[in-house]
């Protein structure tokens, strides 16, 4: 195939209020407001649907974008998908940066879950004012060693087993062993 993806250009989500969203991301995550445009008609479909499209700097050329759609029904979410599943994960430098970010968020009244140990990275979780779940994560210093333990063969075996049984294969349980050591094997776990 001739397609070769270079990177994610931007990811876009819906927001309830464009200004509130820009202000919240600047205050809580220090993300600059880099661009906005608005139209009465959608350029791709030509449909009449007034919108404000805003773009935020997520660092290193990464862009997080939002649409405010005032003529559409109130924004909702997929109630059949648990809230922890769909999220935006943003990288921070190290543990000190994560701890500082957590304290900053909590000082601003944001409820924060974690620090959660995923073996190859460590994360905190919280929601923006639109109900989008966000994750801040830093890579574990031993991540390259742990990732090297997950071979090509293992990845494909896991996928085949999952496809057949819809039960979690045990190949990579070592990644979450420290985080989940106090949970019983039968417990339901939210990630």
Quote the longest CA-to-CA distance of the chain.
Answer: 55
**Is residue 141, in this structure, part of any structural domain at all?**
no
Q: CB neighbours of 146 closer than 8 A, spacing ≥ 6?
A: 119, 120, 140, 174, 175
**Is residue 88, in this structure, part of any structural domain at all?**
no
Left if phi > 0, otherwise alpha if psi is -120 to 50, otherwise beta: which for 166?
left
The model scores a pTM over 0.85: yes
Residue-wise pLDDT tens digits, 168-185:
999 999 999 999 987 654
**Is residue 105, in this structure, part of any structural domain at all?**
no
- What is d(CA 28, CA 107) in angstroms, rounded to the nearest whole number? 10
**Is residue 25, in this structure, part of any structural domain at all?**
yes
- What is d(CA 173, CA 30) in angstroms, rounded to the nearest whole number? 35
Q: What pLDDT was estimated at residue 1?
A: 78
Nearest to 13 by CA among 47, 42, 54: 54
| Residue 82 to residues 168, 173, 191, Cα–Cα distance (Å) | 17, 22, 10
**Which of 71, 100, 123 is where one domain is finished?**
71
- What is d(CA 30, CA 59) in angstroms, rounded to the nearest whole number? 10
Domain of 29: which CATH number? 3.10.180.10
The CA-to-CA distance between both ends of the chain, in Å, stands at 35
**Is residue 143, in this structure, part of any structural domain at all?**
no
Structural domain boundaries enclosing 56: 8-71
**Is residue 106, in this structure, part of any structural domain at all?**
no
**Is residue 31, in this structure, part of any structural domain at all?**
yes
Write out the chain's pLDDT in tens, 191 residues.
799 989 899 999 999 999 999 999 999 999 999 999 999 999 999 999 999 999 999 999 999 999 999 999 999 999 999 999 999 999 999 999 999 999 999 999 999 999 999 999 999 999 999 999 999 999 999 999 999 999 999 999 999 999 999 999 999 999 999 999 876 544 444 44
- Asked if 138 and 92 touch (Cβ cutoff 8 Å), the reply is yes
Left if phi > 0, otherwise alpha if psi is -120 to 50, otherwise beta: which for 78?
beta
Q: What pLDDT was estimated at residue 190?
A: 46
**Which of 37, 71, 105 is where one domain is finished?**
71
Q: What pLDDT was estimated at residue 183?
A: 67
**Which of 52, 71, 90 is where one domain is finished?**
71
Q: What pLDDT was estimated at residue 166?
A: 96
* Domain count of the fold of the chain: 2
Q: What pLDDT was estimated at residue 187?
A: 47
**Is residue 80, in this structure, part of any structural domain at all?**
no
Q: What pLDDT was estimated at residue 182?
A: 73
């Amino acid at each position: 195939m001739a397609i070769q993806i270079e990177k994610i250009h931007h990811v876009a989500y819906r927001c309830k209020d464009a200004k509130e969203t820009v202000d919240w991301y600047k205050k809580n995550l220090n993300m600059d407001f880099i661009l906005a445009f608005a139209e009465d008609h959608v350029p791709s479909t030509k449909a009449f649907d007034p919108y404000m499209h805003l773009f935020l700097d997520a660092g290193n050329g990464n862009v997080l974008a939002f649409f405010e759609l005032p003529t559409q029904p109130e924004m909702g979410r997929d109630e059949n998908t648990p809230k922890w599943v769909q999220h935006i994960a943003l990288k921070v430098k190290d543990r000190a940066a994560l701890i500082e970010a957590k304290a900053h968020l909590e000082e601003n009244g944001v409820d924060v879950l974690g620090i959660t140990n995923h073996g190859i990275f460590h994360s905190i979780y919280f929601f923006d004012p639109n109900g989008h779940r966000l994750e801040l994560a830093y890579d574990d210093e031993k991540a390259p060693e742990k990732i090297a333990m997950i071979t090509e063969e293992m990845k494909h075996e896991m996928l085949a087993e999952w496809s057949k049984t819809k039960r979690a294969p045990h190949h990579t349980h070592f990644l979450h062993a420290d985080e989940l050591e106090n949970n019983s094997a039968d417990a339901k776990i939210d990630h």
